[in-house]
Structure 1
Amino acid sequence: MTAITLLDGGMGQELIQRSGQPASPLWSTQVVIDRPGLVAEVHRDYADAGATVATTNTYAIHRDRLRGGAGNHYAADGATIPDMQDQFNALHHAALAEADAVRDRCRLAGSIGPLGASYRADLHPDLDTAIPLYAEVAGLLAPRVDLLIFETIASLDAARACLTAGRQTDKPVWLAFTVDDEDGTRLRSGEPLAEAARIASEADAALANCSAPEAMPAALGALSGSGVPLGAYANAFTMITKAFLDGGSTAASLQARRDMSPAIYAEHAMTWIDAGATIVGGCCETGPAHIAEIARRLRAAGHEIT
């Protein structure tokens, strides 16, 4: 049948569940500090489930998140974030060390999340500001990973910045776009995903991520014009509404769907393959059980997991 690359699932929400700690402004980064070894445990569980790519726990390690002060966008309810910019390099290296636990079984994908905030195109900096910030992270990750994956890209300018930064390294660059939960042909910014596909034509893969599973077939259709390998990995959040995107809410306020069991999620994943995806996996609120069920369904359908 088809050779399918099986990504892992969500990291941040999985870490919150396993640590028993509420979401913090530093999100999954805090776990690297407080619970060394827990990230490696999650990586091993995903590899055991059948994932062939391990995504590093570096999504949220950006200088804007580590910048201290109550004015930081990530500080909810007037809380003050301690300034941790001096740990920027150390946190990346710690996350990479955790991923080394599965290097013998998986390719490592260096995760680079969005500047500003997830889903919020309005908070993303301009190109001249964004490119060197993304390039700094890419330069730290590239020597120790097999590819770079820029995740949850919400706008065309963000895509341009990510691609430009990634191409400053010698590693393959995957661009993963977050789309409107109700209209998978549009980015969270409202811009056409087909325009993003033109940018992604210069990348090594084009994916849709951290959006509703139901939006992925339309997203894959829009991305097909890129001419590069396609992929999808959805979240299992309740809908990310327009009110959420208008501000005043953080990821901590999102809730898990109750109708997204491993079996149901895997059924969605199989429809993405029917729509042309050769890279599939999970995002927020999916776990090892979801990846294991996708692996089972792929094998049952005669696909090769690579």
Structure 2
Amino acid sequence: MPDTGANMSEITILDGGMGQELVRRSGRVPSGLWSCELMMERPDLVRAVHDDFLAAGADIVSVNSYTLHRDRLNPAGLGDEFEAVHKLACDLACEARDAFGAGTVAGCIGPLGWSYSHDGAPPEDESVALYREICDLQRDRVDMFLIETMASISQARASLTAALPFGKPVWIGLTVDDFNGTHLRSGEPLSEALQEIETLAPDAVLLNCSTPEAIGDGLAVMRTSHLRTGAYANGFTAIRPEFMEKGSSVSKLSARTDFSPDAYANHAARWVGYGATILGGCCEVGPSHIEELAKRFGARPARLPGTSLSAH
């Protein structure tokens, strides 16, 4: 498995966005819990996405557990499936890694409340307990934890407080304002968030699920950090305020049209210039984008026979 610590001389390639890839492959109109619902109905699709990201050159695949929070499952009548869906999500990622013969599985911890919303989560002490429950469920099945799309300092602090005591590598992804990448979506300065995170000492801090341009601006702020840094952007034009309402789906968002694999890798080159050593993709980033990142910045391995994708 690749080094998930602070090896600054090599670039690690993350996978891309699971949810949008599932929407594309299923042809289904997404709901607020689409990635979980599809996984329960068609686990083969989730496994296939993991397989394709590994074949594309990803060093790390993330468990499909971003939405698997009690505050999302309970309203949908799926609260009793909490442990079962976490196990299923972990098993599918581990099976893909084992079949491929290489790779690292990251337990995914998404934000409580709703994506991009900084004020919808429970109080911080309650959030810590809920995040810790997920870490405890996944701890024996994953190699590391990847915290994603934290929109405020409080969310970041709660998730790290929960994950760090489990003794596994922990990476945290912050989401920044699409129109001012030097601030979190909460409005708090990224520099202040970075100071708080550095005191907690995760293994890496990343920017994720914001526009590539905003992420570049944010990485310029983070370039002096002593932590390992990285980035994985989304392919939306911007996050609209109505999407932050609980229960909304990505049907409220628009995909940008200038998001080819080559264009995305050009953005990543800017991120590398700011010191990023972890590169991947979020919503709208598929295997072809990850393949291009791996070609430019990864190990450039030989292609698999009979496929356009490459393997480590």
Q: CA deviation at 1:168?
A: 2.7
Does 2:97 align with 1:90? no
- 1:267-282 aligned at under 5 Å gives the runs 267-282=266-281
Whether the 8 Å contact between 2:32 and 2:249 is mirrored in structure 1 is no
Whether the 8 Å contact between 2:117 and 2:186 is mirrored in structure 1 is yes
Which residue is equivalent to 2:3? none
Q: CA deviation at 1:62?
A: 0.3
Structure 1: which amino acid aligns with 2:15?
Answer: D
Indicate how the Cα distance of structure 1 residues 190 and 248 shifts in structure 2: closer, same or farther if over 3 A, else same.
farther
| Aligned counterpart in structure 1 of residue 93 of structure 2, from 93, 99, 121 | 99
Does 2:20 align with 1:22? no
Question: Which ranges in structure 1 are unaligned for 5 or more consecutive residues?
Answer: 69-80
Indicate how the Cα distance of structure 1 residues 127 and 8 shifts in structure 2: closer, same or farther if over 3 A, else same.
same
TM-score, length-normalised on structure 1? 0.90
| Aligned counterpart in structure 2 of residue 139 of structure 1, from 108, 131, 136 | 136
Q: CA deviation at 1:244?
A: 4.8
Give the distance between the partners of 1:123 and 1:170, measured in 2 at CA. Answer: 29
Report sequence identity in percent.
Answer: 49
Structure 2: which amino acid aligns with 1:96?
Answer: C
Structure 1: which amino acid aligns with 2:124?
Answer: L
Does 2:167 align with 1:173? no
Which residue is equivalent to 2:48? 41
Q: Which is worse superposed, 19-28 or 153-162?
A: 19-28
Whether the 8 Å contact between 1:194 and 1:225 is mirrored in structure 2 is no
Structure 1: which amino acid aligns with 2:274?
Answer: A
Match of 2:236, SS state, is coil
Whether the 8 Å contact between 2:31 and 2:249 is mirrored in structure 1 is no
| Aligned counterpart in structure 1 of residue 105 of structure 2, from 108, 127, 130 | 108
Give the distance between the partners of 2:236 and 2:106, measured in 1 at CA. Answer: 23
Does 2:155 align with 1:122? no
Which residue is equivalent to 2:290? 291
Structure 1: which amino acid aligns with 2:259?
Answer: M
Give the distance between the partners of 1:117 and 1:245, measured in 2 at CA. Answer: 6
Which residue is equivalent to 1:50? 57
- 1:185-196 aligned at under 5 Å gives the runs 185-196=182-193
Which residue is equivalent to 1:159? 156
Indicate how the Cα distance of structure 1 residues 166 and 90 shifts in structure 2: closer, same or farther if over 3 A, else same.
same
Indicate how the Cα distance of structure 1 residues 246 and 185 shifts in structure 2: closer, same or farther if over 3 A, else same.
farther
Structure 2: which amino acid aligns with 1:217?
Answer: G
Whether the 8 Å contact between 2:31 and 2:248 is mirrored in structure 1 is no
| Aligned counterpart in structure 2 of residue 7 of structure 1, from 3, 7, 14 | 14
Give the distance between the partners of 1:108 and 1:218, measured in 2 at CA. Answer: 29
Give the distance between the partners of 1:66 and 1:245, measured in 2 at CA. Answer: 17
Match of 1:143, SS state, is coil
Structure 1: which amino acid aligns with 2:81?
Answer: Q
Whether the 8 Å contact between 2:148 and 2:173 is mirrored in structure 1 is yes
**TM-align CA RMSD:** 2.1
Give the distance between the partners of 2:155 and 2:225, measured in 1 at CA. Answer: 17
Structure 2: which amino acid aligns with 1:176?
Answer: G
Match of 1:166, SS state, is helix
